[in-house]
Amino acid sequence: MAKTKVAVLISGRGSNLKALIEACEDPSYPAEIVLVVSNNAKAGGLQHAQDAGIETEVLDHRDFDSRDDFEDALDTLLRLYAVRFVCLAGFMRILTASFTERWRDLLINIHPSLLPAFKGLHTHERALETGVRVHGCTVHYVRPEMDNGPIIGQAAVPVLHDDTPETLGARVLTAEHQLFPQCVALACSGKARVAAEHVRLQVREFGAELLMNPHD
């Protein structure tokens, strides 16, 4: 089975990258990670990639005169490695419309909230402040607007009465590690396709949507 060549972009510890690396160990998984790129040379996730024998590159955005120059270098790097699909896994840079359009429907992100709620940062604190009873994470195709785009799947977790941002965040992260590999597999196998800015899943067991409610 031909596998889709994937690049993962990170800025930090890379826990979702590690979950993807573990998923790729299954011979039936439809993707292989050929490159991990970080804009932060000290990102812990780089070690996960190196331990797995995956090529790594550091592109420090501060080394470039403009956002466009940084993204042109990133685009060149992705094409050098013959990347066909890009995953944002804690990549703390907002990508321009030019870049997201170049990789339209080939670029996905995982966000720690049930979008469209709580776009941006500090999602767990905001969820607690708002008093929602359910929180979670979302995997979506990237569009120029921040944390926006057709949704592939979501995972919901309960908000408990004694939660702190840390405990709630840990519960959401566990869900992320289950959801992200599933959504990457669906996208790379062609079973998640965008039509009229909605994702159509060609997989009978999930019906029209992928919604997970993982247990602790």
- pLDDT (average), residues 151-157: 97
- The DSSP letter of residue 206 is G
End position of a domain, from candidates 103, 136, 151: 103
Distances 133 to 49, 90, 100, 166, 213 between C-alpha atoms, Å? 36, 25, 33, 16, 14
* 117 and 92 within one domain: no
Domain that holds residue 147: 110-216
Give the C-alpha separation, 192 to 185, whole Å: 9
Mapping DSSP to helix (H, G, I), strand (E, B) and coil, where does residue 34 land? strand
Q: Quick one: tokens of 66?
A: 């403009």
Provide the 10 A C-beta neighbour count for residue 205. 6
**pLDDT-based confidence at residue 202 (cuts at 50, 70, 90):** confident
99 and 15, same domain (yes or no): yes
| Shared domain check, 48 and 6 | yes
The CATH number of residue 200's host domain is 3.40.50.170
**pLDDT classification of 90: cutoffs 50, 70, 90:** very high
pLDDT tens per residue across span 29-57: 999 999 999 999 999 999 999 999 999 99
> Residue 207's pLDDT band (boundaries 50, 70, 90)?
very low
For residue range 4-27, list pLDDT tens digits in order.
Answer: 999 999 999 999 999 999 999 999
Q: Total structural domains in the chain?
A: 2
Of 46, 73, 103, which residue is a domain's last? 103
The string of DSSP codes covering 67-88 is HHHHHHHHHHHHHHTT--EEEE
Does 204 score more than 70 pLDDT?
no
- β-pairing, 151-158 vs 134-141, is antiparallel
111 as an active site residue: the answer is yes
Residue 97 and residue 158 in one domain = no
**Residue 17, SS3?**
helix
> Where a domain ends, among 103, 124, 140?
103
Answer whether residue 210 shows pLDDT above 60: no
Q: How confident is the model at residue 216 (pLDDT cuts 50, 70, 90)?
A: very low
137 and 95 co-located in one domain: no
Catalytic annotation, pick one of 48, 61, 111, 140: 111
Tell whether 97 and 132 lie within a shared domain: no
Do 11 and 96 belong to one domain? yes
**155, 212 in Cβ contact below 8 A?**
yes
